[in-house]
Structures are given as C-alpha cells and as structure tokens.
Chains A and B, each alone.
Chain A
C-alpha cells in the first residue's frame, strides 16, 4: 500500500521518518515537559573528543592554521584610542577539504552513517554544509543527496547557492533544488522515505560535537604558540552549531575565552518570502537564522537540536552587509587573503570589537571559508544591483536590508552592534512555555536557566513578567 504524499500526511509521519533516518530515539532524553537532558543526549549519542579527532584526521579535516592579521590589526589601531586594538587572528577553516568548518560536522555525520550501515546520506542545506557532506560522502563511498532552497519562483537563483550546487555536483552528489519556502522540509522527508538514507542533519549531536575539535584545537594551538588562550573568540552565528561546538571544545580544553556570536543584520527581510529571497546578499550567518534559532533551537530538522547557542554565548553582535563587504575587500587588500562571506561576518565584528580591547589582548575569528564565482563579493554586489539594491558609500547606520547596501565611507564607521541577550533569553523562555500546556516544573526552571545561561531567579522573573 502506498502512503499518502500530501503535505499534511507527510508532516504527520515526521516522527517515525526522523527516528529511522537519524538513528536516535530522542524520546529517551525527554522529561515529558519543557526540560530534556541535553548533557545526556550529547554524551550518549556522540563521540569522545579523541574519537572525533581520529575520525577527522582520517578524513583530512581539521588542524587548520591560525593566521595573525597584522595589517588589519594595524588598521583597527588607527581607528582606536591609544593603547587599544587587540591582535586579530583567524583560524583558516577554508583549508578543510570542502572549504569551510562544516567539514568537521560532515566528517562525523558521514562516519556515523557508514558505521550504521546506511548506503547514502541526505541533507537539507543551501550552504557550505552541503559541499561538506558531499565531500565526506565521496571519501566514504556513500551516495549523497543535497536538498537546497535555491531559486525564487521566477527561477532566479542566489549566485552563492548556485555555486554550492556546482560544488556538490562536482563532488558527486545529487542536488535537488527548490524554490523558496519552508516546505523544503516536506520534500526532504519524502526523499528520506524514498531512499532510506541517513539524515545528515546539521543539528544532530555528532554534527555539533564535530565542531568541538575546532574549539579544542584553537586553544592548544594558541597555548603552544603564544602561551595563552585567546581572550575572546568570535563565531559567525546562524543555526548556532558553529558557536555551540566551538564553545564546547574550548570548555573541554579548559579555556575561559569570551565567546561572542556575530550575525549580519538582515532585520526586516522575511526568510520565507519569495519576493525578498533575492534581496539579501548573504545566505547564512545572518539574523534571519541567528535570532530565531537562538531563541528556539528546536525549530531545526531534528526533534532536539544539539546546537543551543544561548547556553554558550557571552555576547551577541550584528554587523551590516556593507561592513562585511568592506572588510572582505580589506582582507584581500591588506592581508593578501581572499575569503568567503560568512567567515568575514565575524571578521567585520572583530575589527570593531578589537578596538574596545587593550592592544595586548588576542581576538580570534574562528573560521574562514572558501570564495569563488558566485560567492565572491563582486558577484554578490553585482547581483544586488541587478535586484534594485542601491549601493553607496556612507554611514552603515543608514543601511536598510533589502533596499540598500552602505559601504562605510571610512573603516572607523565599522561597528558591531550589541543584541540584547536578555531579550533573546526571555524570548526563549516564552517559546518554551508556549510549547507545553502545563505550567513549568521545577526541573523545567532549572533547564531554562541552563538554556539561557542565567539562574533560576532570572527564569522565574521572566515567567512572572510574561504572565503579567
């Protein structure tokens, strides 16, 4: 008997499809109300740091170099008060096989799929992760399907996503491209059912733990070379896995560096809008993912996301699209390095934050990504112009996402803007309360304190505020 394949019927089968395709019974970690056992989930379903280092070494992933950006630091110091301007470093994750840190997540996911005997892996992503899974699957001899949101309904594609499709296909994957809309998940579920492949979700414990090696490695490399950990680390933040994994790895190394998230400010643009899809110049690392995924991580494609950035974030900032473009060009001009867009989001933030820090401090941008046709700033700016976005020099404060791109008229105008973390924390608490019908249990309160990196009194006060 064939199953009904309309939207509602397929979504209703989500639970069983997921269980089969991820190989995790998430029910084991549930309390029955808001709380679930995150620590237990990460411990029991993942790999130890040593195992992951071995898996990744075998897959040619990791041990990427750290590069000090001396000229960029000097430029930041020209914009800072005397005695300020931390030394800026980048970890060159573009050196991974698929050109980004996502290779770490994919190495684990593909290893796990192979170990469980799956013939192929499936992933829903328009970004670097698709290329990473395709690359790892190629090495492991597994089949691979990448499902992308790529075009608007007129068939106009975001250049960066088209490039990602090319890369996936070059690495032997099948790419299924869709027009704009969250029903991508519906097609994804159908494909999981049809193929019986492993769901190499971005948000499983093995995927997120795969990034722990990045944080750990960073700390070891800094201690060896400079005798101390970086004072602060900036992570470009979208779905939250980059920051979560890095912070967990730092913790495992015993590092106490400040962990800062950074996203491109795309406020005002609706992510599921067909007409706004091609008005943005960034496909990830932006607030359109960063804010909703930090305030409600379980919106992802697995029942419980292992990426829970508010647990690990000390600070969260945004930068404008124009500032990231400016810093990308600056990186090429002053450091001789051409790197891709998402990694440079945290670099733009670093340029500003370094100026708040004394000049003997170390500030690390924990990734770079590859660049090329479609991904480079030139095709992105050219595409923006074609889509009616005005490009001019001025004050980045005047940037309106979807209308204009303001290139700072002087580098001193590049500013990281703080996001009110308490507002995000309260929003997470609100979403959690709305997800159940019963009042929160004492265990839920403790859980929410951990989720928001606060304490029980903060959570209780937030709940009272919500009820008032």
Chain B
C-alpha cells in the first residue's frame, strides 16, 4: 500500500484512439494519447488504483497509480566500443603514433 502524501507517478489516457486528431499518422491513430504526471497522493492506494494527486504547481490530476517515489532510470547506456576507435583515430591522424 502507498500512503497518502507520498510522491507518486500516475498515468492517464487523454484521447482514445478514435478521438485523435485527423492529421495523425495511421500507426499513431491506433494508440491512445497518454499522459504521465507526478504529484502527492491524496489518499492511501494500491498500484493500479485510480487516484487523485496534487502536482508541483498545486493542480489536481487523476489517473492510474504507477509508482511511488518515481525514479529516473536514464543513464549513460551500455558501453559503445566504437567511440574508442574514433578517439584513437583522430589522435593518430593529428599527432601520430605515440599520442594515443
């Protein structure tokens, strides 16, 4: 259970596929327009429940509860060995053999 007052992430459908704008490409028209927003949970709830939150600017939003204390998981990704090749190549061209 997630307690009232915790910082959470919710998800809400803004437009169903049939409500989407006319100019949208076909693949996009097949899926809903979804919103994600964070705020403080207004009542105790379980993940998946439809909940109310108050956002950082004091707005009320409703949606399905996804995560408490939502965490940033972006990173520097997996190592890309090709980048080493580039660095070595330009140093070699500019400074010659020993500068690696």
Contact = CB atoms under 8 A, between A and B. Distances in A.
Interface of A: 6-7, 71, 74-75, 78, 120, 143-145, 150-151, 153, 155, 157, 159, 162-163, 166, 169, 172-183, 186-187, 194-195, 270, 272-276, 326, 329-330, 332-334, 373-374, 376-383, 385, 391, 393, 407, 410-411
Contacts of A275: 27
Nearest to A164: B74
26 contacts: A7-B15, A7-B21, A75-B94, A78-B93, A151-B36, A153-B28, A153-B32, A155-B36, A157-B74, A173-B56, A177-B36, A179-B31, A179-B33, A180-B28, A182-B23, A276-B27, A333-B90, A373-B75, A378-B79, A379-B76, A380-B77, A381-B80, A382-B77, A383-B77, A393-B85, A410-B89
Contact of A159 (B19, B24, B77, B91): B77
Given A153-B32, A333-B91, A378 B59 contact: no
Contacts of A272: 23-25, 28
Contacts of B1: none
B83 A162 contact: no
B93 A75 contact: yes
Contact of A186 (B15, B32, B39): B15
Given A272-B25, A333-B87, A195 B19 contact: no
Contacts of A177: 35-37
Interface residues of B, number: 44
Given A176-B35, A276-B27, A407-B86, 12 more contacts: A120-B57, A151-B34, A157-B74, A159-B75, A178-B35, A179-B31, A181-B21, A183-B15, A272-B25, A329-B87, A379-B74, A411-B93
Contacts of B34: 151, 153, 155, 178-179
Given A159-B77, A385-B78, A181 B56 contact: no
Nearest to B58: A143
A144 B57 contact: yes
Contact of A178 (B14, B55, B59, B93): B14
Given A153-B31, A329-B87, A186 B72 contact: no
A382 B78 contact: yes
Given A6-B19, A181-B24, A326 B57 contact: no
A374 B77 CA distance: 8
A159 B31 CA distance: 22
A274 B76 contact: no
Nearest to B87: A333
B57 A379 contact: no
Contacts of A378: 76-77, 79-80, 83
B31 A186 contact: no
Contacts of A276: 27
Contacts of B98: none
B46 to A, nearest CB: 20
B74 A174 contact: no
A145 B90 contact: no
B94 A74 contact: yes
B57 A143 contact: yes
B55 A174 contact: yes
Nearest to B93: A78
Given A151-B34, A195-B57, A378-B79, A411 B90 contact: yes
Nearest to B34: A179
A113 to B, nearest CB: 14
A195 B59 contact: yes
Contact of B33 (A176, A181, A377): A181
Contact of A166 (B57, B74, B76, B89): B74
Contacts of B83: 329, 377-378, 381
A274 B31 contact: yes
A396 B58 CA distance: 49
A332 B80 CA distance: 15
B25 A273 contact: yes
Given A145-B57, A174-B57, A179-B31, A381 B77 contact: yes
B81 to A, nearest CB: 10
Given A330-B90, A379-B75, A391-B82, A176 B21 contact: no
Top 7 nearest A-B pairs (CB, nearest first) are A382-B77, A379-B77, A153-B31, A174-B56, A374-B74, A333-B87, A329-B86
Nearest to B39: A174
Nearest to B36: A177
Nearest to B91: A333
Interface in B18-69: 19-21, 23-25, 27-28, 30-39, 55-59
A174 B56 CA distance: 5
Contact of A334 (B74, B75, B79, B91): B91
